[in-house]
Amino acid sequence: MFEGIVVGLGQMGSLTNLLFMNVGVLIGIIFGAIPGLTVLLAIVLFLPLTFGLSDTTGILMLIGIYCGGSYGGSISAILINTPGTPNAAATVIDGYALAKKGRAKSALMVALYASVFGGVVSAIVLLFAAPPIAKVTRFFGPAEYFTLAVFGISIIAGVSGKNMLKGIMAGCLGILISMVGQDATTGVFRFSFDIIDLAAGVEFVPVLIGLFAISELLAKTSDYKKLHTMSSAVRMDHNDHLHIKEFLSAWKAIVRSTFIGIVIGAIPGTGGGIASFLSYNEAKRKSKHPEEFGNGSIEGIAAAEAANNAVTGGALIPTMTLGVPGEAVTAVMLGALMMNGLIPGSRIFIEHRDVMYTILIGTVFINLFMLVQGKALIRVFSLITKIPDSLLMPILFALCVAGAYAVSNSVFNVFIMFIFGGLAFAMHYFGYPVVPLLLGIILGPMAESNLKRALVISDGSPLIFVTRPISVVFILLTVLSVYASIRSSMVKKQED
């Protein structure tokens, strides 16, 4: 590990890596700060642009977007009472209240410092936790990988919203889509309809762009009257300064919220929104001044932002080591890793040691770069909320088409993008979640191929899945995951 860290530090410090890490952070903050645009949309749009970069540089840029977007959501939450991302929903409670008191700059600085602390600590935990966890997977065989994939697919229930049946149906459709093309085992062509372009299956990037970018643009432009200019409800006072004592008064809440965020992030199917509200409530419960919460509490802003940024490092742990993404963003990150030949598992830190340690160390520095950019460009970022959607939409649409075409210089991929964009738009309209579809597409091949291998090893006996200890553990985790999701769904229905 020490040798890997030394090599990673050397490679991370190259001019190209430093440049694209900062570009990623900037893009993430911009997309996070504009309500309606998401971190997921940013990653999907700029994923094709990483193809011309090295494996390390491309992944670092995407992680920069991920981390920058987690902080960027707090900007609009504080200035216009609208969270730029769902993760910043808890920040609105005290952020906007403090901004209305003429302390918008202080609120933004608290959010920045807490975000950086949470992000750096979670990145350090990722650096030291990921390699040992990845080593555990050397004990995995086909049976273990199949049950692991089933556990990952069971997360579908947790991200299905209020209607679990629709989520499961969407997940099954994703698995079906993953089977398009030539069967790797038998060589038989499936669901290709004699279309040569489908012989190798559907390209991942056009599918991604269609599911998340095109569908989002269609939803926004379906009512042109809603395309308007965002206006800031509060302005920053030049004389407003955050006192060091104010920030230090919230240090306990920041530390506590950071570790809550890491743990929540590492649990598939959760996310920054849950972490930020849990941390906010815990901070209020243990605060010496709970009456300030909801009225512009520095402690409340710090707790929410430390937690939702700590989720980034925590969420990448199962993604990079086990190949189990907990949400849509990490699912796309997993796809990006696989496209670059970085297959999660026991060999990833052996065969790709230099690349992986460069990425892990780079994640730490990405959060530090976010601090530099946040302090230097805080007034510029506050103007982002005023960009009109009518200007953004055509630009984003052009990026979508260019990105889908650039994957393999194929017009067919552009058609695939529009097909999946229309599919996702229809799914949203009829209340079907899209994330389960994505998880099915990603985890379907892993489940199918390892199921076949396991049954070949056992001469067709399914007992192989219940006679191997690790496989049994994943089966139990799958049952617990489904049970927790069913219980959560029932609670939501009762609340409604």
Give backbone dihedrals phi and psi of 190, rounded to 5 degrees, phi first: -125, 130
Spatial neighbors of 398 by CB under 8 A, at least 6 apart, are none
Q: In this predicted structure, what is the pLDDT of residue 27?
A: 93
CA atoms within 13 A on the CB side of 447: 22
Distance CA 387, CA 23 (A): 19
Q: Report phi then psi at 243, rounded to 5.
A: -80, 140
Closest among 276, 312, 340, 272 to 90, alpha carbons compared: 276
- Condensed to tens digits (0 to 9), the pLDDT of residues 4-13 reads 778 778 888 7
CA distances 297 to 101, 107, 111, 114, Å, are: 11, 9, 12, 14
**Are 346 and 135 contacting, i.e. CB atoms less than 8 angstroms apart?**
yes
Burial of 401 (0-12, 13-18, 19+ CB in 10 A): middle
**pLDDT digit string (tens) for 28-57?**
998 888 766 778 888 888 888 887 788 889
Is the Cβ–Cβ distance between 190 and 202 less than 8 Å? no
Q: Are 462 and 134 in contact (CB under 8 A)?
A: no
Round to whole Å and give the CA distance between 302 and 247: 8
Successive 10-residue mean pLDDT values, the chain, 496 residues: 77 87 92 78 86 86 92 84 74 85 86 92 90 78 86 66 76 89 80 84 84 81 53 59 80 90 76 77 83 86 90 87 78 84 79 87 92 85 68 81 81 92 91 82 84 90 90 88 73 63
